[in-house]
Each structure stands twice: as C-alpha cells, then as structure tokens.
Amino acid sequence: MKKLHETIEKLSGSEAKSLLLGIMYRLESIEIEEDSQSRTVKELLSLSEELRDELQKETCYEVDRTAVHIISGESPAGSLRLGLSRDNQIIGFPDFFAEGPVWKIHTEEGCTIRYEWLRDHINYEIDYIEEEYRSRFLKTLAAIEAIPTNMPIILWTAENADEQVGLRYVLYLLREKKNDLYVINSTQAFQAIYTKEDAQFRVRHSGEVASDQFKEIYQTKLGNSLTNEVKEILQNEWLLLSEKEDVLRIWRNGSIQGVKEDHFDSMIIDTVRRLHAEDETAAFILAARVIGEILFQSEQLIGHNYLEYRIRYLVYNGTF
C-alpha cells in the first residue's frame, strides 16, 4: 500500500485527472446496470488491478529498449517518438531553458527559485505551474537517473539557447553515468540532409523537425560517441552557466549569451508601432498578433509566453 501511495504521489495533475475520469466512467457503468452486488465488487477489484498495471507501466523503465533519447520539450519528444521505432525510449524535458533563472537548477534551491520566477512572471495554462510543472520536472529527473548503464544515450540539440542550455544541463546530470553518449544537432543534420530540397528553410529548434525527418537524421547522422574530454568541457560550461543570474538567454555566434530581461522590448515596441501605422483606426492591437509577428521575424527562438510577459510589463508601465 505504501508503494502504491508513493506512485500516485508522483503523478502530475493531468495524469491524475485522466485516471480519475476513467474511474468515474467505470463506476457510472456499474451503477447503471442492475446487476448483483457481487458483480459490482468484482468490477471494482478488476478496475483496481487495471490501475495498478497502468501505474506500473508509468514508473518502470522499459527493459526492451535499446537506446534512450533525451530532447528539450514534450512536443518535440512526441514527434521523435512517432518517427523512431518502439525500441527507442524517449524522454522529453518539460521546460524551455532560454527563459527563466537556471541558477543552480541541479540543486533543490535552484529548482525552487526557477519555479517561483516562472510562477510570478509567466502566464501558463490554468494550474500548470502550481499542479504540473514541478511534478513533470521531477519525473523527468527520475527517468534520467533510472537509465540503465548498458543503454546508449542520444542527446538532441539545435542552434538555440533552449536546447544548448538543456544539453549542458543534462550532460551534468549524467556525469556519473558510464553510458555511451551521442549528440545530434538537428540544425546541422537537417542542413546536411535537406538543404538542397529546401534552401530557404533553416531549423532553429528540434521541434521544427518532422517525424519522418527525425528517423532519417537518426539513421544517418548519429556519428561517434562523445569523448570524455568533450563531455567534461560541456559539463564545466554548465557549471559556469548555473552561476549566472540571467533570466533570458540567446544563441549568438555559436555560444549561449545571457541578455537583459528587456532584450526584446524594442522589437515589441517597433512591431506595435508598425501594426498601428498599418491601421490607425484600430482601437487596439491583439497581443497574439504582435507575438505572431515577432516569432515570424526573429532569428532568435523566443518563447511566446515570455513575449506575453514583456507586453504585459510594457502595458502596465505605460509604454502603450
């Protein structure tokens, strides 16, 4: 019973709600049917067994896997999962490391500081930060810690601050593991394979890679495992990053650079002025339109939630 309680405690809010919904559907079907009391008891016991099996699937590491892939973002993880065969275990890090503090997030204190900053500044979906964020983050850390030593680990990254910070952070988390480690840069791999087909398109984030493209990239661009020297360099770069108190980072000239919190404010202001000039009769301009314009124009990968935060800040401070 104690083990079951601990397993349930690890569930995120959405996972718990999904399980609860399934339970309610089953209970309603039992209540509607006019069967004997003994059948109801059997149904409840059967339901309990099914839930235990489902929870076990969530918490046990899949032993039939031949490789583990770690990628920034749950959406890219889903696309990667669709593209690769079922013997590949996919871990999607549920965060966006270009924004928010990363000061010592390999410690409990650092994780708390990051959580509190995101809670106080970024508008996520209802209850996400309070009910989902920390649970998903900790669940991902546990999944990384549980990787068996005999499995090769493939780390996906691209030419952006989010994934480059994530790469260094994950390598630091893996510092005690002896697994073979590989890094695939989606931007570079995509250019090498597909540039002739679409010279105008450049992948900024692994999330822009289609499932079938992930498959081809993995099959042709895996390369050699990281040397101990390269691993140590990247792990030390993480330690340097984790000492900084920036809340915003960009990828420029092949390196991660911390910038001021208001780095994109001038772009926001210019975009609002341009849109207003295009239609001076408009009583207001939708924030979503401003954000969409900036995301389309910017060479940097920017989180739309961060842009929304800066628009709110500019409005509250009388800029607009």
Residues 190 and 151 in one domain: yes
End-of-domain residue from the set 255, 283, 304:
255
Domain boundaries, position 146:
67-255
Q: Does a structural domain hold residue 124? A: yes
Q: Does a structural domain hold residue 290? A: yes
Q: Which two tokens stand for residue 168?
A: 């260094």
Residues 88 and 237 in one domain: yes
End-of-domain residue from the set 209, 228, 255:
255
Which parts of the chain have pLDDT scores under 70? 1-63, 126, 196-200
d(CA 203, CA 188): 8
Residues 292 and 206 in one domain: no
The model's pLDDT over 155-200, given as tens digits with 9 standing for 90+, comes to 999 999 999 999 999 999 999 999 999 999 999 999 998 876 555 6
Question: Can you give the pLDDT at residue 283?
Answer: 73
Question: Can you give the pLDDT at residue 30?
Answer: 53
| 23 CB neighbour count, 10 Å cutoff | 15
CB 48 within 8 A of CB 132: no
Residues 128 and 176 in one domain: yes
d(CA 105, CA 303): 19
Q: Does a structural domain hold residue 260? A: no
| 181 CB neighbour count, 10 Å cutoff | 21
Residues 251 and 297 in one domain: no
Q: How many domains does the chain have?
A: 3
Residues 274 and 233 in one domain: no
Residues 37 and 76 in one domain: no
Question: Can you give the pLDDT at residue 179?
Answer: 95
Cβ-based neighbours of 197, under 8 Å, separated by 6 or more: none
Residues 244 and 128 in one domain: yes
d(CA 137, CA 39): 41
Name 182's bridge partners. Answer: 154
Residues 81 and 160 in one domain: yes
Question: Can you give the pLDDT at residue 48?
Answer: 63
Residues 105 and 183 in one domain: yes
pTM of the full structure: 0.79
End-of-domain residue from the set 59, 76, 97:
59
Question: Can you give the pLDDT at residue 304?
Answer: 93
Residues 79 and 212 in one domain: yes
| 247 CB neighbour count, 10 Å cutoff | 19
Residues 225 and 295 in one domain: no
Q: Does a structural domain hold residue 192? A: yes
> Could you say which DSSP state residue 266 is in?
H
For residue 292, the Cα-to-chain-centroid distance in whole angstroms is 21
> Which residue in 208, 242, 194 sits closest to 73, CA to CA?
208
Q: How far is CA 192 from CA 1, 70, 77, 85, 186, in A?
A: 53, 22, 22, 23, 10
Q: Does a structural domain hold residue 218? A: yes
The letter for the amino acid at 94 is: P
Question: Can you give the pLDDT at residue 59?
Answer: 44
